[in-house]
Amino acid sequence: MSRRTWTAANLPDLHGRTAVVTGANSGVGFATASALARAGAHVVLAVRDEQRGHTAAAAMSGRTEVRRLDLADLGSVRDFAAAWSGPLDLLINNAGVAGGRGSLTKDGFDLQFGTNHLGHFALTNLLLPQVCDRVITLASGAHRAGDIYFEDLALRTRRYSLAEAYGQSKLANLLFTLELERRLRRGGSRVQSFAAHPGYSATNLGTQGRSKPLIATVDLAGRLLAQTSEQGALPSLFAATHELPGASYVGPDGRWELHGSPSLVGRSARASDPDLARRLWEVSEELTGIRFGLGSE
């Protein structure tokens, strides 16, 4: 399935709908939130830095709101969810980190696994009773190089590799999407779970904790090779507004999925493994203390 001419200008009227976009103050998250607000949705920018969030919101048209959310702190995730009231149509788990060699979250998890997966796992399950349409979680082509190191999720006993840690977190995003969809269907919910990835987009992802020369190199590569954040947002926007099979994965349709129009794309065998997805879910419940948001599966 491909929509070669589909852009954010083709979004339907979203008046009366509410969306939460994590990491919405910059990059693909900003572009996603901006497009949804422009189409009429009430968009909540869930961001760690509220000042940056307000600056981003001021640059958007439409109805926006800024709320603090630090996905690297489960206490912050619980506070965000506890303060939520009313229906939530779209939960877009966009935020992510790529970097911070050996850094840990406030709760002691590897920064990438804890932020990219566990933070969104907790947020989704805590908000799930209010979600009435769909959950969209951003993954990455990097999931293909990932594995889930259940005996060492923080990668403390092996030589730490940023690529390995990031790949693990992105594989976890796809496994989470798969198991969430299974539990939703088994529970008779109308909510759907999808995944998306932006291709190679010009953002500041991957610069955390890096040297200035490397940051400059990433920036140069982005300017020369990457598509814009607006283009990178299209898979998320497509997944947010189209009828798709459950657990669908949407990404660019170009070569190596780096660029292009939103389309259904493939995933690795690991990312399609229901047993691996179920095991990761159970471990995630143990680590966060948060269970499936709609009760028994």
The residue extents of the domains of the chain are 12-288
Q: Which amino acid is at 183?
A: R
Could you read off the pLDDT tens digit of each residue along the chain, which spans 297 residues?
Answer: 444 679 999 999 999 999 999 999 999 999 999 999 999 999 999 999 999 999 999 999 999 999 999 999 999 999 999 999 999 999 999 999 988 777 899 999 999 999 999 999 999 999 999 999 999 999 999 999 999 999 998 888 878 888 899 999 999 999 999 999 999 999 999 999 999 999 997 655 544 444 444 334 444 444 456 799 999 999 999 999 999 999 999 999 988 889 899 999 999 999 999 999 999 999 999 999 999 999 766
Decide: 22 and 53 in contact? Cβ < 8 Å: no
Report the distance separating Cα 174 and Cα 183, nearest Å. 14
Q: What is the rounded distance in angstroms from the CA atom of residue 194 to the CA atom of residue 192?
A: 7
* 200 in catalytic set: no
pLDDT of the residue at 162? 87
Structure confidence at residue 296 (pLDDT): 67
Per-residue model confidence (pLDDT) at position 102: 76
CATH, domain 12-288, list 3.30.70.2740, 3.40.640.10, 3.40.50.720, 3.40.50.1820:
3.40.50.720
Report the C-alpha gap between 26 and 45 in whole angstroms.
Answer: 10
Cα–Cα distance, 79 to 41 (Å, whole number): 23
Closest CA to 233 of 43, 18, 24, 63: 24
Across the beta sheet with 88-93, the strand order is 64-68, 42-47, 18-22, 88-93, 131-138, 192-196, 249-252, 262-264
What pLDDT score was predicted for residue 214?
39
Helices vs. strands in the chain: H and E counts, helices first: 10, 8
pLDDT at 224: 52
Closest CA to 292 of 181, 136, 133: 181
Angstrom distances, CA of residue 145 to CA of 36, 38, 141, 158, 271 = 32, 36, 8, 17, 11
Among 124, 126, 96, which Cα is nearest to 29's? Answer: 96
Residues 149, 160, 166, 200: which is the catalytic one? 166
Which pLDDT score, from 0 to 100, does residue 284 have? 98
